[in-house]
Structure 1
Amino acid sequence: MAGNTSTPGASVAARTLALLGTFDSTHRVLSLSDMAARAGLPLPTAHRLAGELERWGALVRRPDGRYVIGSRLWDLGLLAPIQSGIREVAKPFLHDLYAATTATVHLAIREGTVALYLDRISGKESVPVVSRVGGRLPLTATGVGKVLLAHAPNDIREEVMASLTRITPHTIVNPKLLDEQLRRVHDEGYATTVEEMTLGACSVAVPVRGPDGVVAALGMVVPSISGRLPRIVAALQVAAQGIGRSLGAPTRVGGPPPGGRGVAEP
């Protein structure tokens, strides 16, 4: 919840930002009264500011009168250097990967303790996919999330490990087991999930490296990875290395993917 901004000294900008700050991953749709209460604003002030934000495109008022974040904020967010740079550089590689596999591919970065999806191309296979551009999903139940968590600072890993949530019957919620898996992800250079985020969907992901280390994760969602893992990892690694070179990452010489040398197409 945003701090109290009802004091006379609070600026218009502070009150406006407080109103926007009432939205988070668990409060995606809010009524005007809820926004006012969470921001610590008088209802008339919240009404006036919400109207201005709606006209500008930062908020959208739904038919039921409640508000959601508008696309104008997402458009601005894409201008942030780390997001716009990686997304634009990665886009042709995502298209190449999709063309070679027809599977759903996506690019994500770590935002605090969640994975933020910067881009996604939907595959032709009938696989349930919950990721969306601009969406956030747990680091612990997604392939890209596990890659990002495996390369995250210790304090982030400790914070995530302290509040593991079961999403499906297959989600790993044992801290010791997850920690062992993350160590393998870090050492082997790829992560997998089997129905941990969504039943009927498996994912594979690899790190994308910049000049100073891992900056993103590149992933693929498929109905099954049985017998396909070496080739999926190989295809992802080729694309990730291409993105990394474009970002100025030093050339890395890696070993073969699991089970063999793999090929470019799964």
Structure 2
Amino acid sequence: MPNIGSNPQTSSHGHVGDVPIRPQPNELTSNKNRNCNANNKQLRKLFPMISGCLFRLLIKNLIRRWDIEDMVEKTKPLKDEHELQAPRSQTLVRGFQIIDAVAERPRNIQEISSVTGLTYGTVHRIVAVLQEQRYLKPERSHGFTLGPRLIELGFAAYSRVDLVQVVRPWLEELSDLTHDTVHLARREGWEVTYLDKLPGARPVEISSRVGGRKPVISTGVGKALLFDEPELVLKQLYEQDGHLLPDRMSQKEWLALMASYRAEGYSYDLGEDEPSIRCVAAPLRDATGKIIAAVSVSSTHEYMSPARMQELIPLVKRIAKSISHELGA
């Protein structure tokens, strides 16, 4: 039998016999404080990690927001076979759009955004890069304009242009369409030098030759090359070479003829160089708008009636305009 009068035995698990020992109130408070202190210490350890994660998440969201347009463009289906073969860089295309937008006059970012249809933020980012690379430059209080790097590249490209090589396909087209002799010539002083010549399909012999020279005043290409010259220069030319004109055309008559040619954008050779030869010519301009050469269609008067010469004017002017466009005009 158990000894009722003796002290009960306390177990190691906080029980007396089968009855658990309840902790005292002071002991509960102490346990809560210890738990709170432990939790606070854990939070202090986790706070830098949590704040760092939030900061990185914010940056990622900002970057994602900046590039969302590019992401949308990349997810769009390609429209044609050409795009399948060579996907375009949207950022590069937008950079070109921005350069085009400031080519005609300086514009600020808001104006560029309106012209190109790009968002303000996109324009701001690309303009910053273009300015850094010297493709754009600030224009006082007017925004941005073309930078020195574009000028450098333009002159580099211009210096590498082989005029004869550029013009040759157009001369071939002109020859095929007319079956006549076509020329490319440039001015050197008071003379023209022939840079290229394609004989036509007709049995016609014309004395011009590649590398050969003729007077400016008596050739169709020569007159076209004079369109931008002031009247004073034309008077000087007449005084020097007016005797080469047929029927001794007066200075007043010749100046009036040149004024009409200039206004219409073409010129004739009506037998001034060779009595039997007729010619329709037009000038070529480069990226600066300067006349650098001229093209012409030539044949004998048998194949060049006044009516046919009139019909050739639009064709010769169109070819000259296309060549000028390729040269940057």
TM-score, normalising length: structure 2: 0.47
Deviation, 1:82, is 7.3
Counterpart check, 1:120 vs 2:197: yes
Change (3 A) 1:82 1:182: farther
- Note the alpha carbon deviations across 1:149-191, whole angstroms, 9 max, x for none: 2223556424312212444745x54221111111111111011
2:278 maps to which of 193, 199, 202: 202
1:141 maps to which of 209, 218, 235: 218
Q: Distance in 2 between matches of 1:212 and 1:86?
A: 15
- Note the alpha carbon deviations across 1:207-240, whole angstroms, 9 max, x for none: 1121122221111112223211232112212211
Change (3 A) 1:141 1:99: same
1:186 maps to which of 246, 257, 262: 262
Q: Distance in 2 between matches of 1:244 and 1:199?
A: 31
| Contact 2:186 2:294 (8 Å CA) reproduced | yes
Q: Distance in 2 between matches of 1:100 and 1:248?
A: 25
**1:246-261 map, 5 Å:** 246-249=326-329
Q: Distance in 1 between matches of 2:217 and 2:285?
A: 20
Q: Distance in 1 between matches of 2:305 and 2:161?
A: 31
| Percent of residue pairs bearing the same amino acid type | 31
SS at match of 2:162: helix
Q: Distance in 2 between matches of 1:121 and 1:147?
A: 19
Q: Distance in 2 between matches of 1:184 and 1:82?
A: 33
Change (3 A) 1:169 1:127: farther
Counterpart check, 1:235 vs 2:315: yes
The alignment of Structure 1 onto Structure 2 pairs a total of residues equal to 168
TM-score, normalising length: structure 1: 0.58
What are structure 1's unaligned runs of at least 5 residues? Answer: 1-80, 250-266
| Contact 2:192 2:216 (8 Å CA) reproduced | yes
| Contact 1:104 1:221 (8 Å CA) reproduced | yes
2:196 is aligned with what amino acid? D
Deviation, 1:125, is 2.5
What are structure 2's unaligned runs of at least 5 residues? Answer: 1-157
Looking at both structures, which has the greater relative contact order when contacts are Cα pairs under 8 Å and sequence separation is at least 6? 1
